């Protein structure tokens, strides 16, 4: 096997799978060597030989029921291994479908099936861990990962600390030995790479993921005071309800807030739908928020350029900046919208925060793909962002709050494309705060309905952090 690995390493070098110079890895580390195994798709004979070497690992692993390749570079290898071994393959999508079944895992399987992960190159191990996390949430058992190249930069340590055994065909050091022996690289390149490995390691990825950390610990990770307060409120009130008080009469909102206020942590309004809005309404609402210890969120979904957002936030008849603890913001305008809010906050003495809207609960929403990732990037790099409005676990920062709308005890949809999910399903999909609207506002006994949602959501949260 060693002779074949040596020859295969030379073949990989000859087709440009290894590059030397100055590069940056996915996790942001500068490196003098870069592995690009995507070129394999243009060299089927070499790709087949490589897949058969990995297949030896699969054959030594007992009771393998499924194979899953990390997208995208490892998918061709996983496909060839599946064909040769006759072990069914699964595909993890980059993001969940927004239509039909909304699957993030394609293929047939049943809970309890064992699944091995195939990957091309491991640096920090994050891609394997992300894949394993999703597979495990679907009920699959993930205990082994088979890799072409281990860069020897903490990836193996990270992966194995999460209960997954990792085996690789090559390490960077072994590859350097093969290539130097074949006169493909110089001793200086070997020294540069060796020195680099000694000083440049990927960060350790803690097994305590965001979803497993209790709120009181995550409160200390917040960059924003309102975010920290929300986490502590959820912990102290044992409630994760954000009540969507989408009513058109001021008195109706006030009456509802007074009734269920002790059992919610956030009251969400759309003040522009009120037919009788007044400054007195805001005064009464703030008094109730103080009395029952909950925060106020205006679900304005700001989406304009920075200067316009400043005016919409501070001015007009609503003067949102003066009373809303948090507001919702689309990421469509990019960083400029965050800068607009920062400018507005110079005139506000009380702490304020933003929820960035990354995904929507409506059918056919266009908040998918790169848009979502860019929204997450904005959220994770801002100290005024409290959290992210989304439908699934799409970020890892423990200091951010996932706010998920569309929650009903009975899963359903309305006639306008709004899709609902059960309390347990949204919590398992990453929700920290759950937006409950018509499940409470249209209930015959609104207090009883609130207590029911409070209990089911909190039970699901406790189960999530202790599982």
| CA separation for the pair 434, 423 (Å, rounded) | 8
| CA separation for the pair 169, 114 (Å, rounded) | 22
The catalytic residues are: 299, 301, 304
438 assigned ligand-binding residue: yes
246 assigned ligand-binding residue: yes
316 assigned ligand-binding residue: no
Three-state SS letters, the chain: CHHHHHHHHHHHHHCCCEEEEEEECCCCCEEEEEECHHHHHHCHHHHHHHHHHHHHHHHHCCCCCEEEECCCCCHHHHHHHHHHHCCCEEEECCCCCCCCCCCCEECCCCCCCEEEEEEEEECCCHHHHHHHHHHHHCCCEEEEEEEEEECCCCHHHHHHHCCCEEEEEEEHHHHHHHHHHCCCCCHHHHHHHHHHHHHCCCCCCCCCCHHHCCHHHHHCCCCCHHHHHHHHHHHHHCCCEEEECCCCCHHHHHHHHHHHHHHCCEEEECHHHCCCCCHHHHHHHHHHHHHHCCEEEEEEEECCCHHHHHHHHHCCCCCHHHCCCEEEEECCCCHHHHHHHHHHHHHCCCCCEEEEECCCCECCCCCCCHHHHHHHHHHHCCCCEEEEECCCCCCCCCCCEEEECCECCCCCECCCCEECECHHHHHHCCCCEEEECHHHHCCCCHHHHHHHHHHHHHHHHHHHHHC
Q: Are 440 and 452 in contact (CB under 8 A)?
A: no
| CA separation for the pair 156, 151 (Å, rounded) | 9
The annotation places the binding site for substrate at 246, 268, 361, 418, 437-438
The annotation places the binding site at 246, 268, 361, 418, 437-438
């Amino acid at each position: 096997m060693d002779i074949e690995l040596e020859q295969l390493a030379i073949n990989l070098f000859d087709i440009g799978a290894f590059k030397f110079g100055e590069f940056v890895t996915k996790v942001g580390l500068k490196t003098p060597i870069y592995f690009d195994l995507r070129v394999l798709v243009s060299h089927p004979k070499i790709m087949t030989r490589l897949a058969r070497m990995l297949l030896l690992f699969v054959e030594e692993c007992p009771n393998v029921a499924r194979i899953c390749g990390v997208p995208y570079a490892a998918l061709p290898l996983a496909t060839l291994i599946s064909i040769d071994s006759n072990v069914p393959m699964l595909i993890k999508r980059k993001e969940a479908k927004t239509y039909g079944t909304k699957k993030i895992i394609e293929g047939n399987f049943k809970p309890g099936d064992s699944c091995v992960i195939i990957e091309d190159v491991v640096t920090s191990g994050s891609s394997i861990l992300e894949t394993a996390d999703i597979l495990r949430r679907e009920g699959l058992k993930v205990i082994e990962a088979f890799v072409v190249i281990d860069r020897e930069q903490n990836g193996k340590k990270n992966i194995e600390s999460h209960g997954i055994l990792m085996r690789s065909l090559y390490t960077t050091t072994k590859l350097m030995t093969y290539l130097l022996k074949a006169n493909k690289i110089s001793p200086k390149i070997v020294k540069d790479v060796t020195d680099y490995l000694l000083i440049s390691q990927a960060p350790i990825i803690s097994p305590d993921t965001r979803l497993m950390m209790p709120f009181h610990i995550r409160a200390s990770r917040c960059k924003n005071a309102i975010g920290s307060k929300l986490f502590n409120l959820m912990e102290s009130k044992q409630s994760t309800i954000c009540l969507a008080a989408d009513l058109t009469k001021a008195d109706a909102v006030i009456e509802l807030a007074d009734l269920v206020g002790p059992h919610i942590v956030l009251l969400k309004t759309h003040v522009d739908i009120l037919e009788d809005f007044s400054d007195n309404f805001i005064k009464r609402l703030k008094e109730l928020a103080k009395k029952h210890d909950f925060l106020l969120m205006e679900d304005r979904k700001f989406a304009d350029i920075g200067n316009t957002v400043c005016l919409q936030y501070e001015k007009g008849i609503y003067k949102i900046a003066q009373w809303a603890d948090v507001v919702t913001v689309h990421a469509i305008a990019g960083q400029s919208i965050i800068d607009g809010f920062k400018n507005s906050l110079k005139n506000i003495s009380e702490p304020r925060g933003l929820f960035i809207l990354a995904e929507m609960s409506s059918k056919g929403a266009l908040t998918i793909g790169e848009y979502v990732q860019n929204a997450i990037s904005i959220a994770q790099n801002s100290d005024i962002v409290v959290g992210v409005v989304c439908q699934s676990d799409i970020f890892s920062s423990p200091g951010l709050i996932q706010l998920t709308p569309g929650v009903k005890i009975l899963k359903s949809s309305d006639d306008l494309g709004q899709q609902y999910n059960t309390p347990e399903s949204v919590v398992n999909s990453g929700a920290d705060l759950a937006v409950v609207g018509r499940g409470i506002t249209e209930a015959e006994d609104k207090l009883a309905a609130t207590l029911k949602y409070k209990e089911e959501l909190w039970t699901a949260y406790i189960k999530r952090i202790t599982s």
